[in-house]
Amino acid sequence: MTLVEEAKNLTWILKEKWLWVIIFSLIAILIIPLFVVWFILAYLSPELRLVALILVIILWGVVAGYKDWIKEKEKERRKTSKNT
């Protein structure tokens, strides 16, 4: 493959909309929690800071439990579809 063909392939990849959607989504996943924690630690009073951090921990547990529940339901659905 020549250098020109490789450049054309790279250009095609960089023009893909979904590539940039994925890149910006990953950046947002990394940056937004940083700003939330920074806001909690820098701008809230000590009482509100405690409440906010406890709320974040509780919500984190709820989301993790929901994720596990969804995975288990999918596993059961695959198991029942294999048996039929």
pLDDT in tens, 75-84: 999 988 887 6
For residue range 9-66, list pLDDT tens digits in order. Answer: 777 777 888 888 999 999 999 999 899 888 888 999 999 999 998 998 999 999 999 9
- The residue extents of the domains of the chain are 1-43, 46-84
- Kindly provide the b/e burial profile for residues 61-83, where b requires at least 16 CB atoms within 10 angstroms of the residue's own CB: eeeeeeeeeeeeeeeeeeeeeee
Is 0.75 surpassed by the pTM of this model?
A: no
Q: Are 19 and 13 in contact (CB under 8 A)?
A: yes
